[in-house]
Amino acid sequence: MKTILFIIITFFAIHNPTYCNAQQGSKTENPLAITITTSFDQPNESSKLSGSIDIFQTYSNSQITFNSSEVNFTNLDPTMKRKITIPSEISYLKINYSVDGKISSYYLNPTRIYRVEAGDVFECKFFKDSLLFYGPDAVKMNIQSKIFDVPNRAHLKKELSQSDPAYFDTEISKYEDKFQEQIALLAHYKKELSEELYDYLYFQCLGLKHYRCVSLITVSRALGPNLGARAVDYYNQKLKHTIIRYSDAANEASYFTDFLFRKEKMEYELEFKKAGFNKTDANLLLDRISNGYKGLTREKLLITAMIDLPKSYNDADAYLEQRNSLTSKHSPYQEILEQIRLAFTPNTKAYDFSLLDSSGRSHRLNDFKGKVVLMDFWFTGCRGCAILNKMMTPVFDHFKNNKKVVFISVSIDSNREIWLKSLKEEVYTHTISINLLSDKERQLIKYYNITSYPTLLLINSEGKLITKKPPFPTDEASRKDLIRLVEMGFQ
C-alpha cells in the first residue's frame, strides 16, 4: 500500500505595494499564498510524514538564506492551510519530504530547484520516491521534474578505479551523456515552456555538467597528492580553456553561476597556491570576478562569492566595506547584496535579536549594551560544536570575572526538550554562557546567513559587529588572538 501526501499549492503575487495596501482583506493582500490540503490513501497511522517547502529569492549551493521562507507540514495536521510570502516575482522552490524521518534519494537530489512565478497555481502529490504535479501550471512543473530526474539515474558505463589512466575521461563523458539526455528532453518540451523557463533549465543543465567537472577536480585534489596532481594536469589540458557561451539569462540558473564561481576560485587558488582555512587576499579573487563578468551574472557571482569566501578567507568581509557600487541601480540583487553588507561588514550595527532562555525569559542584544558579546551557534548532535565548547574553556576562564564580557550560546534545535536535555549535559555549552533557543523563523540565523556549525560572532560594547568569523581557539596562538579581539571590543 502506498501512502500519499496530497498538497494544493497556490502562488499569488502583485508588484505594486500601494495597491497591496489599498486592498486590505483581498486575496492579493500577500504577494504569495500557499494553500495546503493533505489527504492519505490507506495511510499507515504509525508512520510520521513530514517535510518542508523552502522558497528563495535567489538560490545557490553556497546556501543564500537572505529573503527566504519555509513552510513545514506533517500528517498530524491533514487539513493544514498556510500562506507565505514570495520574495520576488520569480522565485525558487525546494521541496523536502520524509517518512519516519527517512528521506529518499529522490528528495535529496540537490538539482531539484523549481522555478516558480507569481500567479502560479498547481497541486502536488508526494510519494516516497516521486513527485507529481496537477492543475493549471502543472505542465511546466512536471517538465522540470523530468529534467531534474536525469542526473540521478544509473549510468551504464563501467566504473573505473581512480588509478586507471582513463578515469577522468570516463567520468567527464558520463556528465556529458547526462547533459545531452537533459537537452534532448528540453528540446522535446520546448513549445510548452516560456522562453524564460527554457533558458533557466538550459543553463541549469549546462551549469550542472560543468559544476560536476570542476567538483571532480577539487574532490580529487583532496584525496591525495598523486590523484590531485593528475586532476590538475587533466583540468589544465582538457577543461580549463573550454569556451562556454552564455547570455545574461544564465544568472538565474544556480548551477551555472555556482560553476563559474567554483571555476574562478579553483583557478585562483591554484595560481596563487592558496589552501586550507584562514586564507587572505580574497580581494584579488573578488576583483577578478568583478572585472571578468558583466551584468546580472557578475552580480550573482559576487553574491555567491560573498557568501562562500568568508568561510575560508579572513579578509573577505572587508571587500564590501571598500566597494560601494557592486550592483546596478535597479538590480534584483541589490537588496540581497545590501543585506550581506549590513550583516558582514565590520563596525555595522548588529542585529537586535529577541530570544528566549530556558526559563522563558526574553533576551535582546540591547540588554547587553556596554558589554562585548561573543556568540556561538550550535545544535544537538554537532560534534564540532562539542569540540569548540571544550576549546573555549580557557577563554571562559580568562573572562569569568570580567563583567564587561558576555557569552551567549544560541541553539538552532527545533525541539525544545532536546535542547533542554543538552543544556543539562553541558556538552555544547558552558555554565558561564547565557543559553538561548533560536526562534522558529530563525531570523537571526538568516540575517547572518549562518549555514555551518559551530559559528562564532563577536559584537563590541556599542552593539556593532566586530567580526562574523572570530578565530576558533584551536591552539595557544589562536586562543590569544580571540582573547585580544574580545578585549578590543570594549576599548
**What's the pTM value of the predicted model, to 2 decimals?**
0.82
Instruction: Render pLDDT for 180-230 as a digit per residue (tens, 0 to 9).
Output: 999 999 999 999 999 999 999 999 999 999 999 999 999 999 999 999 999
Mean pLDDT over each residue of the chain, to the nearest integer: 85
Based on the domain organization, do 206 and 340 belong to the same domain?
A: yes
Condensed to tens digits (0 to 9), the pLDDT of residues 148-172 reads 999 988 777 778 999 999 999 999 9
Helix, strand, coil in percent for the chain, rounding step 5: 40, 15, 40
Helix (H) or strand (E) holding 52: strand 49-56
The residues, any chain, with a CB within 8 Å of residue 390's CB and separated by 6 or more, are none
**Are residues 325 and 358 both part of a single domain?**
no
Query: Helices (H), strands (E): how many in the chain?
Result: 16, 14
Q: Is the pLDDT at 25 greater than 50, yes or no? A: no
Residue at 142 is within a domain: no
Domain hosting 203: range is 167-344
Asked whether residue 3 carries a pLDDT value surpassing 60, the answer given is no
Per residue in 116-139, pLDDT (tens digit) is 988 788 877 777 788 888 888 889
Q: Give the pLDDT confidence of 362-410 residue by residue, as tens digits.
A: 999 999 999 999 999 999 999 999 999 999 999 999 999 999 999 999 9
Q: Is 131 a member of any domain?
A: yes
Kindly tell me if the per-residue pLDDT of 1 is higher than 70.
no
Q: What is the pLDDT of residue 269?
A: 95
459 vs 96: which has the higher pLDDT: 459
Q: What is the pLDDT of residue 18?
A: 29
pLDDT digits (tens, 9 = 90+) for 348-359: 899 999 999 999
User: Per-residue pLDDT for 40 more than 50?
Assistant: no
pLDDT at 231: 97
Q: Kindly report whether the peptide bond that precedes residue 394 is cis, defined as omega within 30 degrees of 0.
A: no
Q: How confident is the model at residue 280 (pLDDT cuts 50, 70, 90)?
A: confident
Number of structural domains (the chain) is 3
Check whether 23 has a pLDDT greater than 60: no
Query: Is residue 143, in this structure, part of any structural domain at all?
Result: no
Q: Which of 154-163, 233-242, 344-353, 468-477 has the highest mean pLDDT?
A: 233-242
Both 122 and 174 in a single domain? Answer: no
Same domain as 378, residue 334: no
- Indicate if 126 and 107 belong to the same structural domain: yes
What secondary structure letter does DSSP report for 63?
Answer: -
DSSP annotation of 154: P
The better pLDDT of the pair 322, 490 is held by 490
User: Would you say residue 67 lies in a domain?
Assistant: yes
Asked whether residue 324 falls in the same domain as residue 412, the answer is no
Reported as half-sphere exposure (CB side, CA atoms, 13 A), residue 122 has a value of 18
Do 189 and 325 lie in a common domain? Answer: yes
**What is the band of 250 on the pLDDT scale with cuts at 50, 70, 90?**
very high
Report whether pLDDT(35) > 70. Answer: no
Strand partners, 114: 93
More confident residue, 276 or 281: 281
- Average confidence (pLDDT) over 266-270: 96
Same domain (yes/no): 277, 377: no
